[in-house]
């Protein structure tokens, strides 16, 4: 199971624990292309139309997002999302558009999240989807107490202003 750039994304300077599995997609019959489904390094072709070349872009967005949460950088976290993004955080109402700013203002104001993402499945197409699990620590800013964090997460991406961004995101606690 080789990841793009070698078996460990760290070798590309993308940070500890950020593991993105990927392979090559190929054109099929003119305008349609073979999209890639990546499941723990095994590739399954799906005809989903023209795929977006996003392997590197997904890694960059995920690294930027994880760094922003760790650094409690609201601007950087919000920069990972489209302006009309929808976020479904466990235990909170769905936030969309401007409400995402409020949600992340609360998150980065209350906790420092030091997490590592492992991508379990990538579906490429016009709106790429990454299914991820994460592990790390959550530190309460006011008390300084820390706890472990383990989630299942789904990210849907879209291009906005030429950049790949998160358009839909949901997560829940991993059992």
pLDDT at residue 124, as a whole number: 81
Q: At what angle do helices 98-110 and 55-71 cross, to 10 degrees?
A: 50
- Tokens linked to 38: 């990546």
Identify whether 92 is part of a domain: yes
Q: Would residue 37 count as lying in a domain?
A: yes
Burial pattern 2-19, b for ≥16 Cβ within 10 A else e, equals ebbbeeebeebebbebbb
The β-bridge relationship of strands 81-88 and 129-140 is unpaired
pLDDT digits (tens, 9 = 90+) for 14-48: 333 333 333 333 222 233 333 333 344 333 333 33
Domain total in the chain: 1
Range of the domain at 150: 10-23+31-173
pTM here is: 0.70
Residues in the chain where the model's pLDDT stays below 50: 1-53
**Residue 35: its pLDDT value, please?**
36
Give the C-alpha separation, 60 to 76, whole Å. 12
């Amino acid at each position: 199971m080789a990841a793009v750039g070698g078996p460990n994304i760290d070798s590309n300077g993308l940070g500890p624990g950020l593991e993105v599995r990927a392979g090559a997609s190929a054109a099929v019959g003119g305008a349609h292309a073979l999209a890639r489904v990546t499941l723990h390094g095994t590739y399954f072709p799906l005809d989903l139309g023209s795929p977006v070349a996003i392997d590197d872009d997904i890694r960059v967005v995920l690294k930027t997002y994880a760094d922003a949460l760790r650094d409690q950088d609201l601007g950087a976290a919000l920069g990972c999302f489209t302006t009309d993004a929808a976020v479904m955080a466990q235990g909170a109402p769905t936030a969309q558009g401007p409400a995402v700013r409020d949600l992340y203002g609360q998150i980065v104001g209350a906790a420092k999240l030091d997490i590592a993402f492992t991508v379990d499945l990538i579906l490429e197409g016009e709106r790429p989807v990454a299914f991820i699990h994460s592990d790390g620590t959550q530190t309460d800013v006011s008390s300084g107490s820390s706890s472990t964090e383990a989630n299942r997460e789904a990210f849907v991406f879209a291009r906005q202003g030429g950049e790949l961004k998160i358009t839909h995101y949901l997560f829940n606690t991993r059992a």
